[in-house]
Amino acid sequence: MYYKLMIRYCIITILTILTSIVTSYGQNEERNCNCPENIMAGTTEESKPDTTFHFSNGKTIILCGYKNPDSNPITFSEFILSVCEQDTIIDFWGAMLTCRLKVHNDTLFVDDLRNLPTGENLKYQETVWSTEKIYFNEQRIVRQCAVNRQIRKYDQSEINTALREYEMAKFGLDDNKMEIATKLFMATISGDKKARQYFKEFATKFGTLDGAFAEEYKDLTSMLELWDDKK
C-alpha cells in the first residue's frame, strides 16, 4: 500500500511539473509576441499587436498599427504585418490605404478598400479594389495579389454620363473635377476607349495638377496600370 501511494505521488508530481513547464512556455511565447520596431507604423519593441491571426502550422501573423475608429467591419490603415517572434516585416500598408483583414482556410486575406462611384446613380461607396492572399508554404510566407475583376462595371448609359461630364466641364481644378476623373477611370476599366483617352488627357485638360489633386490622379493612374497588368 505504501509503495502504491508513493508511485501515485510521484506521478502527480511529474504531471504537475510538466503542466507548469508547458504553461510557462505558453506564457513566455505570448509575452514575446510583440511588434517589431518600425518608424512607419509607430511601433517599438514593447508595442503589443492590435490583432493576431493564427495558422494551423502554429505560426501567428500579427498586425501592428492603427484601427480606423467607428469602422464596421473593422478596418486598418498605416500598419505592418509580421510573423510573431520574427524581426522580418512582411510589409507596410500606408496611411492612405484602408484595409479589411480576415483569415479563411489558413489564408490571410487583405482587402484594399477604395471609395469609388460604383453605387446606384454613380454614388460613391466602399469597394474592394484588390485582395492580397498571405499564407504559409511549410514555413515560407507566400503572397499573391489580385485585382477585383468582379467590381461593378458601367453600362453604356453610365459611360455616356462620365464622358458628357468631362466634355462639359470648364477649365480649373476642384473636387468636382476629380470626381469626373474617377468616373472616367471607372468607364475606362469598363472597356470604353474614349473614356481611356479622356482619362489620359485629364492630366493637362483643366490646369496643372499639384498637391492632393496630383496625388489622387497618380493613384488612379497606378490603379489603371495594375488593372491592365493583371489582365
Alpha-carbon torsion angle 222, 228, 229, 230, nearest 10 = 110
- pTM value? 0.81
Is the per-residue pLDDT at 29 higher than 90? no
What local confidence, expressed as pLDDT, does residue 20 receive? 39
| Distance in angstroms (rounded) separating the CA atoms of residues 87 and 143 | 18
SS3 82: strand
pLDDT tens digits, one per residue of 42-100: 777 678 999 999 999 999 999 999 999 888 899 999 999 999 988 789 999 999 999 99
Phi, psi torsion values for 124, nearest 5 degrees: -75, 140
Asked if 35 contacts 47 with a C-beta cutoff of 8 angstroms, the reply is: yes
Asked if 49 contacts 34 with a C-beta cutoff of 8 angstroms, the reply is: yes
Is the per-residue pLDDT at 3 higher than 70? no
What local confidence, expressed as pLDDT, does residue 10 receive? 44
| Distance in angstroms (rounded) separating the CA atoms of residues 206 and 171 | 5
Mean pLDDT (whole number) for 203-227? 96
Asked if 18 contacts 6 with a C-beta cutoff of 8 angstroms, the reply is: no
| Distance in angstroms (rounded) separating the CA atoms of residues 175 and 62 | 37
Extended beta strands in 25-162, E state: 51-54, 60-67, 76-83, 89-93, 98-104, 107-116, 125-137, 140-147
pLDDT tens digits, one per residue of 147-178: 999 999 999 999 999 999 999 999 999 999 99
Give the long-range contacts of residues 69-72, CB within 8 A, separation 24 or more. none
